[in-house]
Amino acid sequence: MNILIVYAHPEPQSMNGAMYQTAIAHLEAAGHHVKTSDLYSMQFDPVSSRNNFSTVYDPAFFKPQLEEMHATEVGGFADKINMEQEKVEWCDLMIWQFPLWWFSIPAILKGWVDRVFAMGRFYKNGHLYETGLFGSKKALLSLTTGGPPENYLRDGLNGDLEGILRPVHRGIFEFTGFSVLQPHVIYGPARQSPQELSAVLKNWEHRLEHIFEEQPITIGAY
């Protein structure tokens, strides 16, 4: 199968870096085709602007969605954006590997979505949610947290993780038609021993072995 891994962490030696490298090695060894977007290494610029486009629809007033629809019609996305769009269009499964920062994805990953997930090309009226353009694709969040698991339960310090991830699961993945796989969460890797971290990577490998047999979870409306 075709798998895109989008990775957003500034430190290659981090747990996120290890999870990323493990996924590439294991999925390729299993015969899958893997493409990557290592956003920090690419020095991906996350600021959505006219730089998303090689074309201009309205030079007097920048309305991102109108420019996106125009660029979809005329092939007017900037090369760097088009390359990312093609990776998403190509994949059967998209994995995001990132640390949870401020109850959300790091800005470099948010901006990858802001710029790459363009109206017209990735979604449009009549093609949202159940009728989304990416209805044949799956998506999986693989993330680390700062705190231990009990901090991410209902009535725990931060509240339940499901609610924290919901804007991404529902508002990005299901919005564009992706089926959502159970998120893969490593809690507080900074506090774990090398032995524990090694077991974490083994668990990730085991999960990836059967990833295409998994049933999606349903996020649904709020």
Strand-pair category, 184-187 with 179-180? unpaired
Of positions 159, 205, 212, 216, contacts a copy of itself by CB under 8 A:
159
Residues 23-52 that bind a copy of itself (CB under 8 A): 40, 46-50
103 binding a copy of itself? (CB under 8 A):
yes
Can you tell me whether residue 209 is helix, strand or coil?
A: helix
156 binding a copy of itself? (CB under 8 A):
yes
Q: Please report how close the Cβ of residue 29 comes to a copy of itself at its closest, in angstroms.
A: 28
With residues binned 3-state (H G I as helix, E B as strand, rest as coil), the percentages for the chain, rounded to 5, are 45, 20, 35
Reading the block at residue 45, the tokens are 């610029």
131 binding a copy of itself? (CB under 8 A):
no
182 binding a copy of itself? (CB under 8 A):
no
143 binding a copy of itself? (CB under 8 A):
no
Q: Please report how close the Cβ of residue 192 comes to a copy of itself at its closest, in angstroms.
A: 14
163 binding a copy of itself? (CB under 8 A):
yes
User: What is the spatial distance between Cα 44 and Cα 113, in angstroms, rounded to a whole number?
Assistant: 11
Of positions 168, 181, 200, 211, contacts a copy of itself by CB under 8 A:
168
Can you tell me whether residue 140 is helix, strand or coil?
A: strand
Report in angstroms the alpha-carbon separations of 177 from 128, 161, 169, 197: 7, 22, 11, 34
126 binding a copy of itself? (CB under 8 A):
no
